[in-house]
C-alpha cells in the first residue's frame, strides 16, 4: 500500500515512511491510494476480539511490517487498557455508547497514540535514528501522546497547548510527566495558533530535516488508521446484537480526524447509514456541511475544550476525496482559504447533500449541560461534555430502524467543573488515575505565539539533550 499527498507534490510513500514523515513535504496530508473493500470479511470479523480485529484492519494498510511484528505492536498497545474489551459498547437509553476512555489518559486519543508510540519505537529500532515529535493539542492529544512515548529511546516530544484553554486535569496529565524526553509548552494563543505553528515548522524543510521532526497529531495517517478499528468493532457488535443491517455513528469533533476514520470505515464497506458530525459553538464543520461554505471564525472557549477549533486539519483529506483526488483542485481551494479564510464547495454532481454519509449538527453549552443532566437522571450514566455534544445532536437524528452508536471520547472525571454545572456536584466525576496526579511535581515552559520562539526553544532543547547523552 502506497500513500499520496493531497497536494500532489511528491512521490507516493510506503506505510513506514508515511508514519515517520507525518505531514507531507509539500504541506499536504497522506492518504492511501485506495481503500480496500472488506465487505466480504465482516461476518468473520464480528467474532474477533479488539486486538485481533485491529491486526486484521491494520495489516491491509501496513504491509511493509511483518505480520509477526505487527501483531506484537498491536498486542502491546492494547494491553495498557483497563477494560478487557478495550472499547466496550453499552446501551444507554435510546443509544449505544462506545466507551473510548479506558486507556492510560482516559481519552479516545489513547487508542491511536499507544499504537503510534509502539510503532515509532519499532521503526526507530530498525533504522537507529531519532525522532523529535512536535504536536499541538486542544487537550487530550497532548497527554495521550506523551504517555505513548515517554521514556522511549530515540524519541523526544514537544507538545504545545493553548495556555489557560485546557481543563486543569488535562494540563496536569501533561505537565506532571517530567521524563527527560518530554517538553510541555504553554502557548500564549489558541489551539489553531499552535496547529499553525506545527505546520510552519514542518514547512521549513531544512529545520524539519535537521531535527528529524515527526507528528502525532491526526495529520499522521497512523492516527486515523488506529481509529478506523473501533468503528468496525462497535458497528459489527451492535448490528450483531440488534439484528440491524446498518448502523449510524455520532461523533463529537473539532479537528475532523475521528469522524474521518468513520468515513474511511464506510468507504471500506462497513454498512454505515449516517455519520452524525457534532460540534459545539465552534461550528465551522457544522456550517460547512449544511451550507457548503467553509468559513473561519474566532475560537469560542467552551466546556468541551478539545473541540474548540476553527480550522480542522483533516477536512483536507475529506475535500481531496470529494474532489475526486484532484490535487490541483485541492491546492486551489486551500490557497483561497489561506488567503481569505473562506471557501465554497459544491456537492458532488447530482447530489443534494454535501456528503452521502455526513449529517452535521450543533449543540451549545446549554444543550450539552442538559444532556449530561438528562442521562444522569434518567439512565444513571455520566457523560463528559464532549461526549454529551455528540449525544445531544444524535438524539435529534434517531431512526428507529437504525441503531445509533455515540462515541464517548473522554472520562467525565477529566471535566469535574462541567459535571458540577450539569448535576450540581462533581463527586461522581472521579477516577483513580486522575486522583493519583494530584500533588505531583509539574514542568512546563510558557512561550509567545511565535513560530520563531517555538523553533528556538525546540532547537536548544535538542542540542542540550544530545550534549547530555554524549557527556
Give the mean model confidence (pLDDT) for residues 175-202: 95
The pLDDT tens digits for 414-435 are 999 999 999 999 999 999 999 9
The pLDDT tens digits for 302-353 are 999 889 888 898 999 999 999 999 999 999 999 999 999 999 999 988 888 9
**pTM metric for this prediction:** 0.93
DSSP 104: T
pLDDT band at 129 (very low <50, low <70, confident <90, very high): confident
Residue 306 has what pLDDT? 85
Residue 221 has what pLDDT? 97
Residues 6+ apart with CB under 8 A from 31: 3, 4, 6, 221, 317, 320, 321
| Bridge pairing between strands 213-214 and 131-136 | parallel
Catalytically annotated residue among 109, 199, 438, 444: 109
Question: Look-up: residue for cell 493553548?
Answer: 162
Cell of 463: 542540542
What are the sequence ranges of the domains in the chain?
89-105+222-432
Mean confidence (pLDDT) of the chain? 95
pLDDT band at 217 (very low <50, low <70, confident <90, very high): confident
Active site residue 438: no
| Bridge pairing between strands 342-344 and 293-295 | antiparallel
In sign, the C-alpha dihedral spanning 283, 285, 290, 294 is positive
CATH 3.30.1340.10 fits 89-105+222-432, yes or no: no
No. of helices (H) and no. of strands (E), the chain: 19, 16
C-alpha distance across the termini of the chain, in Å: 42
For residues 114 and 154, give the distance between their C-alpha atoms in angstroms, rounded to a whole number. Answer: 16
Cβ pair 400, 229 in contact under 8 A:
no
Entry field: residues in the chain: 471
| Bridge pairing between strands 30-32 and 2-5 | antiparallel
Residue 15 has what pLDDT? 98
In sign, the C-alpha dihedral spanning 427, 429, 431, 435 is negative
Amino acid at each position: 500500500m502506497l500513500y499520496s499527498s493531497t497536494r500532489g507534490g511528491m512521490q507516493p510513500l510506503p506505510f513506514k515512511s508515511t508514519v515517520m514523515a507525518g505531514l507531507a513535504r509539500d504541506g499536504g496530508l497522506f492518504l492511501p491510494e485506495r481503500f480496500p473493500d472488506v465487505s466480504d470479511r465482516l461476518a468473520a470479523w464480528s467474532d474477533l476480539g479488539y486486538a485481533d480485529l485491529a491486526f486484521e484492519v491494520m495489516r491491509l494498510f501496513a504491509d511493509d511490517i511483518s505480520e509477526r511484528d505487527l501483531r506484537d505492536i498491536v498486542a502491546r498497545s492494547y494491553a495498557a487498557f483497563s477494560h478487557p474489551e478495550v472499547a466496550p459498547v453499552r446501551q444507554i437509553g435510546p443509544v449505544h455508547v462506545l466507551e473510548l476512555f479506558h486507556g492510560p489518559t482516559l481519552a479516545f486519543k489513547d487508542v491511536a497514540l499507544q499504537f503510534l508510540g509502539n510503532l515509532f519505537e519499532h521503526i526507530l529500532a530498525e533504522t537507529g535514528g531519532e525522532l523529535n515529535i512536535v504536536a499541538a493539542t486542544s487537550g487530550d492529544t497532548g497527554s495521550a501522546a506523551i504517555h505513548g512515548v515517554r521514556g522511549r529511546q530515540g524519541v523526544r516530544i514537544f507538545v504545545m497547548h493553548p495556555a489557560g484553554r485546557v481543563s486543569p486535569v488535562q494540563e496536569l496529565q501533561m505537565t506532571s510527566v517530567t521524563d527527560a524526553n518530554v517538553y510541555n509548552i504553554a502557548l500564549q494563543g489558541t489551539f489553531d495558533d499552535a496547529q499553525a505553528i506545527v505546520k510552519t515548522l514542518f514547512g521549513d524543510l531544512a529545520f524539519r530535516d535537521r531535527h528529524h521532526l515527526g507528528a502525532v497529531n491526526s495529520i499522521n495517517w497512523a492516527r486515523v488508521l488506529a481509529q478506523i478499528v473501533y468503528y468496525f468493532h462497535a458497528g459489527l457488535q451492535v448490528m450483531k446484537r440488534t439484528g440491524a443491517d446498518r448502523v449510524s455513528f455520532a461523533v463529537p469533533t473539532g479537528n475532523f480526524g475521528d469522524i474521518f476514520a468513520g468515513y474511511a470505515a464506510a468507504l471500506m464497506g462497513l454498512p454505515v447509514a449516517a455519520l452524525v458530525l457534532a460540534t459545539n459553538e465552534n461550528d465551522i464543520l457544522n456550517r460547512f456541511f449544511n451550507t457548503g461554505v467553509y468559513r473561519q471564525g474566532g475560537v469560542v472557549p467552551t466546556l468541551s475544550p478539545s473541540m474548540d477549533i476553527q480550522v480542522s486539519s483533516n477536512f483536507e483529506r475529506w475535500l481531496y476525496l470529494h474532489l475526486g483526488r484532484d490535487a490541483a483542485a485541492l491546492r486551489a481551494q486551500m490557497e483561497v482559504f489561506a488567503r481569505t479564510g473562506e471557501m465554497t464547495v459544491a456537492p458532488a454532481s447530482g447530489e443534494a447533500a454535501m456528503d452521502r454519509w455526513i449529517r452535521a449538527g450543533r449543540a451549545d453549552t446549554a444543550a450539552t449541560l442538559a444532556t449530561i443532566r438528562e442521562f444522569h437522571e434518567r439512565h444513571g450514566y455520566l457523560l463528559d461534555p464532549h461526549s454529551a455534544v455528540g449525544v445531544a445532536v444524535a438524539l435529534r437524528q434517531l431512526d428507529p430502524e437504525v441503531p445509533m452508536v455515540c462515541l464517548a471520547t473522554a472520562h467525565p472525571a477529566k471535566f469535574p467543573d462541567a459535571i458540577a454545572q450539569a448535576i450540581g456536584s462533581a463527586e461522581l466525576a472521579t477516577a483513580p488515575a486522575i486522583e493519583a496526579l494530584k500533588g505531583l511535581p509539574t514542568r512546563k515552559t510558557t512561550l509567545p505565539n511565535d513560530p520563531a520562539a517555538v523553533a528556538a526553544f525546540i532547537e536548544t532543547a535538542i542540542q542540550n539533550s544530545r550534549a547530555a547523552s554524549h557527556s
